[in-house]
Amino acid sequence: MKIIRKDTADSTNEVAKVLVAEGAESWTVVVAEKQVEGKGRFGRRWFSPRGGLYVSVAILEDLERLPVVSLSTGLAVALTLEEEGVEAQLKWPNDVLVEGRKIAGVLVEGLTRPPAYWGIVGVGVNSNSRLEDYPKELREEVTTLRSELGHRVDNASLLETLLASLKEVYPGRGDEPTAVSRYRERCAILGKDIAVQTVDGMVRGIALDINPSGFLVVETSDGEVEVAEGTILPDS
Ligand code: BTN
* Tens digits of residue pLDDT in 87-119: 999 999 989 999 999 999 999 999 999 899 999
19-70 per-position pLDDT tens digit? 999 999 999 999 999 999 999 998 899 999 999 999 999 999 999 899 999 9
What pTM value is reported for the model?
Answer: 0.94
pLDDT at 218 exceeding the cut of 90 = yes
Q: What is the mean pLDDT of the chain?
A: 94
pLDDT of amino acid 234: 77
Ligand 1 centre to CA of 220 (Å) is 31
pLDDT of amino acid 235: 67
pLDDT at 135 exceeding the cut of 80 = yes
pLDDT of amino acid 172: 82
136-183 per-position pLDDT tens digit? 998 999 999 999 999 999 999 999 999 999 999 998 877 666 888 899
What atom in ligand 1 is closest to the CA of residue 10?
14
pLDDT at 216 exceeding the cut of 70 = yes
Helix (H) or strand (E) holding 180: helix 178-186
What atom in ligand 1 is closest to the CA of residue 32?
10
pLDDT of amino acid 223: 96
Q: How many helices (H) and strands (E) does the chain have?
A: 5, 12
Ligand 1 centre to CA of 216 (Å) is 21
Under 8 Å between Cβ of 196 and 233: yes
Cα angle 67, 69, 72; round to 5: 110
What atom in ligand 1 is closest to the CA of residue 12?
12
Q: Is 201 exposed, middle or buried (CB count within 10 Å of its CB: 0-12, 13-18, 19+)? A: exposed
Q: Whose CA is nearest to atom 9 of ligand 1?
A: 124
170: Cβ contacts below 8 Å, ≥ 6 apart = 69, 72, 179
